[in-house]
Amino acid sequence: MNDVNGYDSTIKYAIMDIVGAINKIESMKQDRYLAMHPYSITHSADGYYRTYLPADDGKRKQIKKNRKERCPNDR
């Protein structure tokens, strides 16, 4: 019976480690995209993050998002 309990806890911790690794990878991807973003991202008084994205006509378009991670990735 002790072997089953040990096996269950081993699986539980392995799953937690996989989830932690996936979260770390996603965080690294977000950091990489934020580092590549050419414009500054500002937090305004209304609670939104604002930045610019290149538009199709060669100009730039202002966007606002409620989370900083979403700013440069939504095109």
Share of the chain above pLDDT 70, in %: 73
Name the 3-class secondary structure at 73. coil
Nearest to 53 by CA among 44, 65, 43: 65
Given this model, what pLDDT does residue 54 score?
86
Per residue, the 3-state secondary structure of 25-66, as one string, reads HHHHHHHHHHHHCCCCCEECCCCCEEEEEECCCCCEEEEEEC
**Would the pLDDT of 1 be above 50?**
no
Given this model, what pLDDT does residue 75 score?
42
Structure tokens at 2: 């002790």
Q: What are the residue boundaries of the structural domains of the chain, listed by start?
A: 1-36, 39-75
Provide the whole-model pTM. Answer: 0.51
Given this model, what pLDDT does residue 35 score?
85
Nearest to 37 by CA among 4, 5, 63, 10: 63
pLDDT average, residue stretch 26-34: 87
pLDDT average, residue stretch 9-32: 81
